[in-house]
Amino acid sequence: MKKRVISLAMAALMAAGAFGMNVYADDKQDLVMYIDVADEVFTAPLLEKIREKFGDKYNLIIKTWDATNEIQTVKTAAIAGDEVDLLMYWPNSMVAFIESDLATPLDEYMTDEWKSRFAEGALDMGVYDGTLYNLAYSTVYPMMIVNKDLADAAGVTLSEDGKWTWDEFLAFCDAVKENTDAFGTVIPSGWTPWIIRNAYLQIWDTDEEMEAFCSGQVSFFDEKVVEASDMVVDSFNNDCYYPGGEASLALSNDEAYAALANGKAASIFCVNSVTQSVLEKTGLENYVIMDWPNMGSNPTCAVLGGSNGYFIPTTAKNLDGALEVLDFLTSQEAADIRAELGCVSTVLISENANADKELLDQISRCSAQIHKEVQDNSAELGTYMESMPA
């Protein structure tokens, strides 16, 4: 009797489906997004807003973003037929996705109102051959936070405008080592490639030389490139970086932050977009924001960087949902949340945003110096450059 009842129930369900009835009223379409970025302090409040706004409409599957695996994640999804609807990635590093036909063109979805939200030139960061693939939400470049108490103890006077040369930075590290119990600086392992990448941008005497190298016209065996490499190696051999030796290449973010907080390092290489978070985590109050040291003689002092942004892979199975969330993530509401937590937003913020405008000015002053790197010429070269320090 029980089997007959179950069979009748199944038959009823199948019949209902055949007539287009929604048997499972609570069924929601999946929306798979790799947008949980651990380093960004504004991630949590933004994810909370996304759940509030879209949780009733979609089955939200929000996954942790991992810079080292995202290209492989999307390629694997494309082969296996898995779903990836929205992904955080750098607008100026989209070559690998575009060359593999894995990025969805966004131009047809961008209304005039949507475009008007962005600061001048911000949308250009995600344009390749006239097609928009990625929407930038923040300007990102490396800089430094210096513990002024340790700088004073070492007898170092820092410039008021935050600018210094590589030689001045090395002299700072030497003075700290000689006069205090600290190392000159510390850098998390994920950011160590910046040192060599900035050296390759800044070693040149003129913009013309820099442009030639960045466009792939100059060999890596060029004497200037060798000089830049030697500069970086020498700084590690001279124990500028906490805790010295090879261990200085393998620190987690938290270990690097702890070194700054505990006075074991007099400065830290940092991303401008997480500066406010680092200051809060370390409790450092007497500090100076310094630009990346100029590693050459070119006054342009180009720096690596660009922006963080979002794109929709061609593996998306919920395009409408991805566009809705992308619309919110590049809204003024989202921009205000980011700005209030120390992010240099590419989307214009409102007058009522409760942001530390003085700090934002300090961590955005090098935005115009961001320059295309040699590694942007191909995905293979990009992978190589990211692994060079190891």
Residue 12 has pLDDT above 60, yes or no: no
φ and ψ at residue 89, rounded to 5 degrees: -160, 170
Query: pLDDT tens, 299-327?
Result: 999 999 888 999 999 999 999 999 999 99
Q: What is the pLDDT of residue 14?
A: 46
Residue 24 has pLDDT above 60, yes or no: no
Percentage of the chain with pLDDT > 90? 64
| Residue-averaged pLDDT of the chain | 89
86 has which bridge partners? 33
Per-residue confidence at 368, pLDDT binned at 50, 70, 90?
confident
Whether 241 has a pLDDT exceeding 70, the answer reads: yes
- Least-confidence region, from 37-41, 45-49, 314-318, 348-352: 37-41
Q: What is the pLDDT of residues 267-298, one digit of tens each?
A: 999 999 889 889 999 999 999 999 999 999 99
Residue 67 banded pLDDT, cuts 50, 70, 90 = confident
CA dihedral 286, 244, 154, 146 (to 10 degrees): -30
**For the whole prediction, is pTM greater than 0.95?**
no
Give phi and psi for 36, each to the nearest 5: -90, 90
Dig out the tokens for 185 from the structure. Answer: 């600086």
Give the strand pairing for 131-132 and 127-128. antiparallel
**Single-letter code of the amino acid located at 161:** D
Tens digits of residue pLDDT in 152-189: 999 999 999 999 999 999 999 999 999 999 999 999 99
Distance CA 116, CA 348 (A): 9
State residue 389's pLDDT score.
53
d(CA 176, CA 190): 24
Q: What is the dihedral of CA 292, 347, 85, 306, to 10 degrees?
A: -20
368 DSSP assignment: G
